[in-house]
């Protein structure tokens, strides 16, 4: 076996691992035990959401992440696993906004804002998918989301919850990222994810900083439990 083949095998991630962990409690407990410290605060990259990002900035972010393949294969494998977590959940958020927009529950400035958010989530999917592939990994398979789209108030409340979960998840993951480039990208996006949540907070009359002066991270098991109902 060539060195290139060995390197490729060391970083390839099972395409459906995230979805399987969400669905299966036994698999999830086994995974958490296996990864130890990573599992305790893992999932931080729920949503790589960047407000106002352009196609060029998305491409730049992908390139920056892809340059982080230097160093130990174990570190690369960890970062690919984190990126694939982000990609899977980014798929879900992108699908959520697509359904919201298709339902035509919002018009005017609010409708335009949610359309912008949805477009940004689509860009994140493309950026993450490209980054995982360039780092030598297998991009996660796309799950099928199921979201209750009942009325404008219910959808807005759900969006607020989802975006705050994403911000908390990013914070929980930051200490597990190995590559400085990947970390810088994640943190730059995390700040905008929090802005998504704050903006939605004004819409639903909820706190724009729900935890006060210091944000509280969510660990992997908490986030997995939260997203499980939204996977078909």
In the chain, % of residues over pLDDT 70: 68
Q: CB neighbours of 27 closer than 8 A, spacing ≥ 6?
A: 20, 21
Percentage of the chain beyond pLDDT 90 is 28
Closest by CA to 219, choosing from 163, 158, 176, is: 176
Instruction: List domains and CATH numbers for the chain.
Output: 3-230 (1.20.1260.10)
Q: Which residues of 100-124 are buried (b: 16+ CB within 10 A; e: fewer)?
A: bbeeebbeeeeeebbeebbebbbbb
pLDDT of residue 176: 86
State the CB neighbour count (10 A cutoff) for residue 3.
7
Neighbours of 73 (CB within 10 A): 14
Average pLDDT over every residue of 146-150 = 92
Q: For the whole model, what pTM was predicted? A: 0.72
Residue-by-residue DSSP string for 203-229: HHT--SSTTTTS-----HHHHHHHHGG
Q: What is the mean pLDDT of residues 95-119?
A: 94
Give 224 or 74, the one with higher predicted confidence. Answer: 224
Residue 55 has pLDDT above 50, yes or no: no
pLDDT attached to residue 106: 95
For the stretch 164-221, pLDDT in tens is 887 887 788 788 878 887 777 777 777 877 888 999 999 999 999 999 999 998 887 8
Kindly give, in sequence order, each residue whose CB lies less than 8 Å from that of residue 16, ignoring residues fewer than 6 positions away.
Answer: 140, 141
**In sequence order, what are the residues at sequence separation of 6 or more whose Cβ sits closer than 8 angstroms to the Cβ of residue 17?**
84, 140
Average pLDDT for 87-100: 88
> Exposed (0-12), middle (13-18) or buried (19+): which is 82, by Cβ within 10 Å?
buried
Only one residue has tokens 């802005």, namely: 195
Per-residue pLDDT band for 57 (boundaries 50, 70, 90) equals very low
């Amino acid at each position: 076996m060539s060195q290139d083949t060995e390197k490729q095998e060391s970083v390839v991630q099972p395409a459906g691992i995230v979805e399987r962990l969400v669905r299966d409690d036994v698999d999830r407990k086994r995974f958490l035990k296996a990864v130890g410290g990573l599992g305790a605060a893992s999932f931080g990259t729920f949503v790589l959401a960047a407000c106002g990002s352009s196609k060029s900035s998305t491409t730049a972010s992908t390139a920056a992440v892809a340059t982080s393949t230097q160093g130990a294969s174990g570190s690369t494998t960890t970062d690919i696993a984190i990126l694939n977590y982000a990609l899977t959940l980014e798929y879900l958020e992108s699908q959520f906004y697509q359904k919201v927009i298709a339902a035509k529950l919002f018009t005017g400035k609010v409708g335009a804002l949610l359309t912008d958010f949805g477009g940004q989530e689509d860009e994140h999917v493309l950026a993450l998918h490209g980054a995982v592939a360039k780092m030598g990994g297998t991009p996660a398979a796309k799950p099928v989301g199921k979201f209750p789209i009942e009325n404008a108030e219910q959808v807005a409340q759900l969006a607020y919850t989802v975006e705050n979960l994403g911000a908390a998840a990013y914070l929980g993951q930051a200490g597990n990222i190995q590559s400085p480039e990947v970390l810088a990208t994640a943190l730059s996006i995390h700040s905008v994810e929090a802005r998504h949540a704050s903006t939605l907070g004004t819409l639903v009359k909820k706190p724009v900083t729900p935890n006060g002066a210091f944000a509280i991270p969510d660990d992997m098991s908490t986030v997995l439990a939260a997203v499980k109902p939204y996977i078909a």
